[in-house]
Amino acid sequence: MPPAERTHAGPSSLSLLAALSLLLGQACWTAGSNQVAATVDSQRITLSDIELHEWLSRDDWPSAETAVRPEGWRLHALRQLIDQRILLRRAKSRGVEASSQEVEEAVRRRRAAAGDDDALERILAANGASVDRLREHLRRALTIERMIRQEASSKVRVRTGEMRAYYDAHEAAFSVYEQQLRLAQILVGESALSPIPNLRNDDVTGPEAALEKIRWIRDQLQGGADFETLAQEYSEDPLYAATGGDMGFVPLSAMDGADIRLRRAIGALRAGQESDIIETDGEYRILRLISVEEAGQRSFDDPEVQDAIREVLANRKEQLLREAIYEVERNRSRIRNHLAERLAADPDAGP
């Protein structure tokens, strides 16, 4: 766009350029975060939209530190936002929207990661956001995922012949060389953690408080409470609280280096059983043996093998469906990526 100081130029060139710019839908590039980076139909996406989307989508959220972004991060984030806009239009046309309960649960997880309500608001404000903006960001993402799941459930089919062909091509992958244990744990420690990994924002300090908490959890389990739910809400395990305590399969040989108290407790368990409280150096845990996978070749007729293959193939088809939906909706949209045009004209130019 011509510099502002060139207002003395005659009407023949500038007026023509301005008219063409309007006819082509050219967005004006102005200084600051309100620069238009793209248009999707009649909707504008600005640089501030890109920055907020990229920050709220980061894996290390809610870190308030400025990330060292790779070259081209704005273009990547902008492509995500363009896809989001066109998929939200598809979701709306089908009457699909995330429920308020889903959204509030997602907000609750972010609040727990931040520490509390005040900490969440401070972190959001420091990055130019608010709880309402976070809520809207999560609603959009959850709405798209709900739509994709609905379309996948109605269209994605995995046939037995496909599963058999996959098994024959990957037979070695279903050979287990040694016994493996699928374990889960609920962990409570004496020292404080920050950020607290569980959904209840529940953390105790000191041996007496830790012992009281793990005893309460044990009593809840004995009363029929769900292990996975208790782990997500109360476990202080920074790695596995979010997975409901599930640590996945552990080879038997990996237990050789574990604390003798843990090995004894695990050795006494049968699949589906939970241990009593185990104390190891200021930490208290309850272990659950989910299942045992014996060594040997797993046959195709094994229901767990078929479930695993079905999941792999269904995920592949769902990803292909997702990409096809993207392309269909792009074809139906009027998209103008002004940021890409600007960088193509001058790669060294900033936004």
At residue 132 the predicted structure's pLDDT band, cuts being 50, 70 and 90, is very high
Angstrom distance (rounded) from CA 232 to CA 225: 13
Closest CA to 36 of 57, 22, 50: 50
Question: Considering just the CA atoms, what is the radius of gyration of the chain in Å?
Answer: 27
Contact predicate 213/188, CB 8 Å: yes
Mean pLDDT of all residues belonging to the chain: 85
> Cα separation of 276 and 292, whole Å?
19
Position 298 pLDDT exceeds 70: yes
**How far, in Å, CA of 82 to CA of 80, rounded?**
5
Confidence category of residue 139, pLDDT binned at 50, 70, 90: very high
* Residue 210 or residue 32, greater confidence: 210
pLDDT tens-digit series, residues 82-103? 999 999 999 999 999 999 999 9
The alpha carbon dihedral of 141, 144, 150, 156 has a sign of: negative
276-297 pLDDT tens trace: 999 998 899 999 999 998 899 9
Residue 1 has pLDDT above 90, yes or no: no
Per domain, the residue ranges of the chain are 1-30, 34-176+298-351, 178-294
- pLDDT recorded at residue 213: 96
The arithmetic mean of pLDDT across residues 28-46, rounded, is 76
Report the helix count and the strand count for the chain, using DSSP H and E: 12, 9
Query: What pLDDT, in 10s, does the model give residues 171-213?
Result: 999 998 899 999 999 999 998 887 788 888 888 999 999 999 9
Q: Contact, 249 vs 180, CB < 8 A?
A: yes
Residue 58 pLDDT: 78
For residues 247-255, give the mean pLDDT.
90
Rounded-to-integer distance, Cα 95 and Cα 91, Å: 6
Which pLDDT score is estimated for 311? 94
Confidence of residue 346 (pLDDT cuts 50, 70, 90): confident
For residue 61, the model assigns a pLDDT of 63
47 or 6, which is more confident: 47
Q: Does 309 have pLDDT greater than 90?
A: yes
pLDDT bracket for residue 70 (50, 70, 90)? low
Closest residue by Cα to residue 167 from 308, 317, 318: 308
Q: Which of 297, 292, 291, 316 is nearest to 170 (CA)?
A: 297
**Candidates 3.40.50.720, 3.30.720.210, 3.20.20.70, 3.10.50.40; CATH matching 178-294:** 3.10.50.40
- Going from the C-alpha of 41 to that of each of 45, 141, 334, the distances in angstroms are 11, 20, 5
Confidence of residue 60 (pLDDT cuts 50, 70, 90): low
**DSSP code of residue 226:** -
Decide yes or no: CATH 3.40.190.170 for domain 34-176+298-351: no
Mean predicted confidence (pLDDT) in 327-334 = 92
